[in-house]
Structure 1
Amino acid sequence: MQKLTAAALLALTLPGLGLAATLEENAKTVLEFGPRVTGSPANEQARAYFEQQFKALGYQTRRETFTYPRFDDLGSDVRAGEQTLKGFALQNSGGGELTAAAVRVPGVGTLEDFAAVDVRGKIAVVARGQVTFSQKAAAALSAGATGLIIVNNQAGELRGALGDQTQLPVLGVSQQVGAALKDGQRLILGVRVRRADVQGVNLVAFKAGVTQPEMLFGGHLDSVQGAPGANDNLSGSLAVLELARRAAGTPLSQRSYFTLFDGEEDGLLGSRDFVKANAPIVKQLKAMFNLDMVGIDAEPLTLGGDAALMAAAGRVSKVQLNASAPGGSDHVPFREAGVPALFFHRGLDANYHQPGDILLDEALVRGAVEVALKVADEVLSAAPAQ
């Protein structure tokens, strides 16, 4: 007979619950799906898996869909001689494949820099820095270039966005790729892009009869192209599920929503849609806890956000508190709607938004969960159940 894990035994002891997997099993399973880009099969596989796990813990679930236009890089590169060199189309770039000579533009790509060389009918190669991507593209287009390659001025690949849509194909490349592009060399630039509507799906788990939660625990499920997203943000998704597991059978489960947001990487779109679509619920929340990148200890676990919530955290834990902690995650729309919110974060690790984001430490995830439970108890103990 197969030996049951501690988590499985706990699940079986709670009335009406099925057999839930351990945190480690959940991490392994979801990572095998691959990058969870919103609208991708892997994204849906991961959501369906989490949905199954919430139900095994005795929760009901609902899906909330939203649609938005998105720009996708379908695989862009530049060929120089026998080499095919990887790059990334800048958001709002034009698309196409063209063959032309390379022209190294001096300086940083101002109008004056482009005026110093002849780029008409050619592919301009310019360094990143000082001038915005959009200004470089506009200057290149004005000077008659048929394509633009922007070379990073720091280590790593270059991903970015043009403020305005342009017809010019614009590729971002690393310093190493940039060094391989010689002045006058014949290049084949392939900027392969797609603009289409994407459907995002938020997953909400709750106990039967809970229509007005006081707490919302959230994290985003999606990752970026090419990144399996172990730390960003499978770690936070696992923490939300673990919070639901720990809360099952306790009063906390009757006062909470557990939500996995979609479309965070495209601009916090899932959390923004949730706030808009659930205005009456959001208005009554006492707190929103957002867990994002809590599986790698790049920095000590840091909590940032609402002053009263940070004060509560300081009373029950020894975590680092930072009122000015990074704000670009799913707690932001809630704060903008007037909801006290707390951001759980361990800093940007070396594999942030990279193919190497394949590792997470389950003990660190559990550590974040422990802190979240303590702070939630401190917050709710001061407020009578609704």
Structure 2
Amino acid sequence: MPIPRSKRGPSSTSSHPDRSRARSWICGRCPTTKQPACCSASTSIIRHATRGIMRLDIVNIRRDTAALCEIGNRFVGSDGERQARDYIFARMRELDLQSVRKDMFEVATYRPLNAKCTLVGAAAPALDCVGLQFMGSDRVEAEAVLIGELSDTADLDAICRHLPPVRGRIAVIKTSYPYLFVDDLTERGALGIVMLGDAPDGYCRNLNAMMYPALVERPNGAHHRIAGVTLSEQSSTMLLAHIAAGGRLRLEHQAEYPIVETGNVIGELPGSDVGEVVVGAHYDTQLDGVGASDNALGIACLLEMMRQLGEHDLRRRVVAVAFADEEAGFRGSADYVQRYGARLAETVGMVNLDALAWAPAQRSLHADPSIMEFAAETAEAAGWLIENRADASLFPGSDHNPFIDAGVPAAFFWRNPPTHPYYHTRGDSLDRIDFQIAVDTASAAAAVVKRLANDPTLPFDRSQPTRRWIDLRP
């Protein structure tokens, strides 16, 4: 939902004496020759723009990560989320960041009341499950149709051609992205959704049936009408055997969607000229656990990055944002780009820190095409050799997506594929973080932020998304 003009943040008007000259730096043109900057900067230029940045301090990162985990669960609207917001605010002030503030807004959050999946007629009918978030409140009993594993929307059409009709049945699926398929299954007449789980140690994975951009377009009331749950791995095995024997399922899900207040925490480092860089990380968690890697660690790396950047002169302002409510559709980052639309014309780039340190996992860079080569060559010059690249505009992955959709070039460095066994479970704990991997990943991201802040010419201006999920351009 667009933020009313009266609630928008300050505009980016500047008293710089030569506005067009300053703007030419942002657009990637030399302010003297007016010629486009080279799209592939030499290593010496990269080192000049990033010089002086140290590897991030593992002790500081470990301390802030532990402090946020000690607060506990930080699901949107919870007391833990409020405590984390206050902690980050205090830490930004300790770092002497400027204009430290909380930008508050309201969203509808998921509050589970009941989730059950029963094997009708079985000797041990009760299954371990949690609610599939943003599903409706309903109770149904029906035959099941096993659709199986889904990774792309095209899979569903191909698979359903060879199965009994979905209409009037409970659809059983396995995917890390249920929000891509629930609308389609509802239109096909499914009475409910059961997600097969693969998390170890008896954990049930917390997943959303609705995500970006739907929850940005309808922040105060969007949810599906049919019931849905996610099972543990052991319960999934029991369910599959029951379906193979022709058994029926009884499915129940009850939830409320109260309106709660949440907010981003923002602090800035000044620049000597116009233009700014945004670097962000989300501080909320899913419903269970402390979210150590996803994403207390990202906040700790953000704070340490700003501490080190504060020791250097910067050409452009660097804005640190601790985003609220990433887990329910990137609503904190969407609020930022809507609230500060007037500043986005001078925002040269955004770097997102999220899920930095699961191992084993490939060193991955997700970016929109405009900034991909710039971010890759800068990270690799800093010693972070990229193993996987992806066009971030093709998939709604994290808080970088609203920036891309708002026209801001954005890059996302991560080491946490969604198939990791403890993703979105209580198993995402402090003892499972590899802090050396975190330092390596965040230091590469810091090199990109430093170059965005200091390079006088940049080889891009606006984002060039292959797909724009929602038009958030001011």
Query: Please, what TM-score do these two structures have when normalized by structure 2?
Result: 0.63
Indicate the residue corresponding to 2:218 in structure 1. Answer: none
Of 155, 167, 176, the residue aligned with 2:237 is: 176
Of 438, 451, 460, the residue aligned with 1:378 is: 451
Q: Does 1:49 pair with 2:93?
A: no
Map residues 147-186 of structure 1 onto 2, 5 A cutoff. Answer: 148=192, 150=194, 152=196, 155-156=198-199, 157=204, 159-161=207-209, 167-174=225-232, 175-179=236-240
The alpha-carbon deviation at position 271 of structure 1 amounts to 0.9
* Higher mean displacement: 170-179 or 234-243: 170-179
Distance 1:91 1:34, change over 3 A: same
1:294 partner SS: coil
Indicate the residue corresponding to 1:8 in structure 2. Answer: none
Does the 8 A contact of 1:95 with 1:192 survive in 2?
Answer: yes
Q: Does 1:35 pair with 2:73?
A: yes
Q: Does 1:356 pair with 2:417?
A: no
Give CA-to-partner distance per residue, 1:122-154, whole Å, 9 cap, x none.
Answer: xx555327995445556667xxxxx646252x7
Map residues 202-241 of structure 1 onto 2, 5 A cutoff. Answer: 202-207=264-269, 214-241=276-303
Indicate the residue corresponding to 1:63 in structure 2. Answer: 102
Distance 1:45 1:83, change over 3 A: farther
The alpha-carbon deviation at position 33 of structure 1 amounts to 2.1
2:278 partner SS: strand
Q: Does 1:113 pair with 2:164?
A: yes
1:367 partner SS: helix
Q: Give the percent of matched residue pairs that are identical in Structure 1 and Structure 2.
A: 23
Give CA-to-partner distance per residue, 1:93-150, whole Å, 9 cap, x none.
Answer: 332567x6x645577889983699xx7xxxx555327995445556667xxxxx6462
Matched AA of 1:245: R
Distance 1:84 1:106, change over 3 A: closer
Indicate the residue corresponding to 2:135 in structure 1. Answer: 93
- The separation in 2 between residues aligned to 1:267 and 1:310, in whole angstroms, is 27
- The separation in 2 between residues aligned to 1:75 and 1:338, in whole angstroms, is 41
Query: Please, what TM-score do these two structures have when normalized by structure 1?
Result: 0.75
- The separation in 2 between residues aligned to 1:218 and 1:240, in whole angstroms, is 7
The alpha-carbon deviation at position 165 of structure 1 amounts to 5.4
Indicate the residue corresponding to 1:78 in structure 2. Answer: 117
2:257 partner SS: strand
Does the 8 A contact of 2:272 with 2:314 survive in 1?
Answer: no
Give CA-to-partner distance per residue, 1:9-60, whole Å, 9 cap, x none.
Answer: xxxxxxxxxxxx9322222221122222111111111121121111111124
Does the 8 A contact of 2:143 with 2:170 survive in 1?
Answer: yes
The alpha-carbon deviation at position 62 of structure 1 amounts to 0.6
Indicate the residue corresponding to 2:8 in structure 1. Answer: none
Distance 1:308 1:353, change over 3 A: same
- The separation in 1 between residues aligned to 2:404 and 2:144, in whole angstroms, is 46
- The separation in 1 between residues aligned to 2:93 and 2:273, in whole angstroms, is 17
Of 357, 372, 376, the residue aligned with 1:295 is: 357
Matched AA of 2:131: A
Indicate the residue corresponding to 2:27 in structure 1. Answer: none
Distance 1:196 1:314, change over 3 A: same
Does the 8 A contact of 1:109 with 1:139 survive in 2?
Answer: no
Give CA-to-partner distance per residue, 1:320-344, whole Å, 9 cap, x none.
Answer: 1654155511112222222222211
* Higher mean displacement: 262-271 or 62-71: 62-71
Q: Structure 2: which 5+ residue stretches go unaligned?
A: 1-58, 148-158, 215-221, 458-474
Give CA-to-partner distance per residue, 1:156-204, whole Å, 9 cap, x none.
Answer: 4574527995554333435135247587989875412112223331110
The alpha-carbon deviation at position 239 of structure 1 amounts to 0.9
- The separation in 1 between residues aligned to 2:139 and 2:421, in whole angstroms, is 33
- The separation in 1 between residues aligned to 2:387 and 2:173, in whole angstroms, is 35
Let me know the Cα RMSD of the aligned residues: 3.8
Distance 1:222 1:103, change over 3 A: same
Of 345, 351, 376, the residue aligned with 1:310 is: 376
1:266 partner SS: coil
Indicate the residue corresponding to 1:369 in structure 2. Answer: 442
What is the number of residues matched between the two proteins? 350
Distance 1:29 1:177, change over 3 A: farther
Of 330, 333, 354, the residue aligned with 2:399 is: 330
Of 196, 201, 212, the residue aligned with 2:263 is: 201
- The separation in 2 between residues aligned to 1:181 and 1:45, in whole angstroms, is 45
Indicate the residue corresponding to 2:172 in structure 1. Answer: 127
Indicate the residue corresponding to 1:6 in structure 2. Answer: none
* Higher mean displacement: 68-77 or 343-352: 68-77
